[in-house]
Amino acid sequence: MIQNSVKIHDNFSLEIKSIYENISKSKKTNYDTITYLFIPNGLNINNQTYSNSKFYNDVKVYIRYNASAYTLEEIINLKTGPLNLFAKSVKRILKEKLTKKNRLDFESKVKMLGAILNNSLKLKTQFYKSQNQSDLQISDQNFFIELKEILQMYRVQIPLIENSGLDENLKNIIKLGDEYLSNISNYYTIQLFEHFKKSSVEKSDLKAVIQFIKEEQEYRKAQNFDASKDDDYYDEILLHKRSQLKKYIEGVLFLNRDIRKDGAFVEQSVFAIAAGLAMVFSTGIAFYYQQVYGNFTLPFFIVLVVGYMFKDRIKSSIGQLFISKASSFFYDYKIKIKDHENNLIGITKENFAFVPFEKLGPKVKRNRVKNGYLDADYDFYGEQIIQYKRKIEIYPKKFGQEISDNRLKSLVDITRFNFYRFIAQMDDPKKSYSILKKGKIINRIGNKIYHINVIQKIYSEQGIEFKRYRVIMNRKGIKRIESVKLDVL
C-alpha cells in the first residue's frame, strides 16, 4: 500500500511524499512509480537543453523510516514504548560498564523518543484540526496532562545523567533531547492555540493550552534553550540551531543511499565486445591486404588507415546502439538503501527520459486530456514530457532491526523537484491587457501563469493507481498546486 501526498516545499520546489509499507515479513515488497511532467514547449525544456545530469541535479531524494504511530497514553504506559525503553537505557549506562554499544543504544533511544513524540503530536494536532467545533473537548485536558507527564518522565532522568561520572558527550545528548522535546511541544501547542482561537472556542476551554505554553516557555527560559550571546535581529542563530537539532534527532530515521550506475558491468562488457569486433575487422583487413600488397607499400598503408577509421566507427556505433537501447533494460542508477549499521534495507532504481505523447499508455493519455482549460489544453506537440521511473524493493530481513521498534513497518520516500531552471524562458509575471467597458477602453494588469501537469502511475500489490496534479507557477515561483480528480479507470 502507498500513501501519497504532494505539496509546495519552497518557491520553486514541488515535494512528493510517498509512504511504502513493508507488507511481508518473509519476502521482499515491490513498488513501481512513474511520474510524468508535462511541460509547455515555450519553456524550452527538451532533450537538447535539459540533460540527464541537469535533471538529477534538480531532483533531491530522501529515504527514511516512517515513525511509528503511538498515542500519548501508549508512550507513557507501554513497556515496549519509546519512553520506557529510554528509561531502561539510562539505567543500563549508569549500572553497567560503558561500552560503545550501550552508548549508541542510549543515543538512539533519545532520538527515537523525540521522533515518535513528534509524529504523535503531529497526528493529534491534525485530528483536532479536522474535528468540528461541537466535537472538541478541550476542557478535559487529557492531552496536556499526558504531554506534561511524558516531559516530566523524561526530565527526571536528566539529573541522574548529569550527576554521574559519565562523559560530557552523553550529558549533552540527553540535554539535546530535552530541548527537542520542548521545541516540538511548544510548536504543536501553539498551532492548536491558533486553531482553537480561530474556531471561536470559549476562553475557558483555552486555559489549558495557554497554561501549558506559559509553563513550557518558562522552562525553556530557565534552561537557556533560546539564549544567544550575540544580537540576533533576524533570529538567524535561533532558527539555524533548531534546524540542526531537528536534523540530529530525526536523523535516527534516515537511511543511507549507496548510489551506483545501473548496468555498469554489462555496459563495460558491451563496450569491450564492441572494441573486440572492431579489432577483428581491422586486423582481418590488415592481414588480407598484407598478402595482396605486401609490407611497406603505399596501398597497404592506405588500407591500414581506412581499416582504422572503420574500426573506430564500428566501436562507437555499437556503443551508441547499446546506450540508446539500454533504457529499455536498465535504469540510470541503482541505489542500495542501508541503515546506520550498514544493513541492506532495500533497493531503488531510477530512470529519466523524454518521451513523445504517442508512446504514453492510453490511460495516461486520457488522464492528461481530462479537465483541460481548452479542448486541447496545450497542443500536445507543444509539450515536452519527462518520464521519471522509480522501482522500489523493500527487504524484510533487516528492516528496522537496529531501531528495535516492533511497530515500524514503512518507509518514507520524499522526492523534491526543483523547477528553478524552468523559469528562464518565462514571461514577466504581470501582463497588461485591455477590455471594452461601457464604451471605454480599460487597461488592466493580470497574472501570467504556466501550468506544469504531473501524472503519477503507481504500481503496488493492490493494483495500479493514477494521480494527477496541476502545478501553477510564474517567474516568481510556484503559486499553488491543484489536485485533478480522475475517473476510476
Q: Any idea of the CA torsion for 194, 198, 199, 202, to the nearest 10 degrees?
A: 80
Q: Are residues 45 and 87 in the same domain?
A: no
| Residue at 437: amino acid letter | K
Report CA-CA distances (Å) from 72 to 75, 142, 143, 190, 399. Answer: 5, 10, 8, 18, 25
Residues 274, 398: one domain?
A: no
**Among 206, 230, 254, which residue terminates a domain?**
254
Q: Are 18 and 356 in contact (CB under 8 A)?
A: no
C-alpha span between 108 and 252 (Å, rounded): 7
Walk across the sheet containing 410-418 and list its strands.
2-10, 13-21, 410-418, 59-65
Q: Based on the fold, state whether residues 416 and 347 are members of the same structural domain.
A: yes
> Is there a single domain that holds both residue 319 and residue 390?
no
From the CB of residue 133, how many other CB atoms can be counted at a distance below 10 Å? 9
Predicted local distance difference test score (pLDDT) of residue 374: 46
In a domain, 41, yes or no: yes
- 200 with 349, same domain: the answer is no
State whether 100 and 184 are in the same domain. Answer: yes
Residue 197 in any domain: the answer is: yes
Last residue of a domain, one of 226, 254, 282: 254
pLDDT at 154: 94
Same structural domain, 122 and 240: yes
| Residue 244, pLDDT score | 92
Note the pLDDT of residue 431.
Answer: 83
| 441 and 393 fall within a common domain | yes
* 478 strand-pairing partners: 473
My answer on whether 316 and 342 are in the same domain is no
Whole-model pTM: value is 0.80
User: What per-residue confidence (pLDDT) applies to 329?
Assistant: 61
Q: List, in order, residues 6 or more apart from 299 with CB less than 8 Å away.
A: 289, 292, 293
Domain that holds residue 142: 72-254
Low-confidence ranges of the chain (pLDDT < 70): 1, 132-141, 200-201, 204-205, 227-235, 262-272, 274, 308, 312, 315-316, 318-329, 371-381, 488-489
Q: Are residues 145 and 49 in the same domain?
A: no
Domain contains 316: yes
CB under 8 Å to 245, separation ≥6 — which residues? 176, 179, 180, 183
Which residues, including other chains, have CB under 8 Å from residue 6's CB and lie 6 or more apart?
14, 15, 16, 17, 454, 467, 469, 481, 483
Q: How far apart are CA 43 and CA 46, in angstroms?
A: 9
Q: Is there a domain that residue 489 lies in?
A: no
Q: Do residues 204 and 92 share a domain?
A: yes
∠ CA(78), CA(83), CA(87), 5° rounding?
Answer: 110
What spatial distance separates the first Cα and last Cα of the chain, rounded to whole Å? 18
pLDDT (0 to 100) of residue 295: 72
Helix 100-130 to helix 236-250 angle (10° resolution) is 110
Single-letter amino acid, residue 227: A
Same domain (yes/no): 115, 26: no
Q: Which of 326, 346, 372 is the last residue of a domain?
A: 326
Structural domain total, the chain? 3
The pLDDT value recorded for residue 122 is: 92
Whether residue 110 is contained in a domain is answered as yes
Domain membership flag for residue 138: yes
pLDDT at position 432: 83
Domain-embedded: residue 175: yes
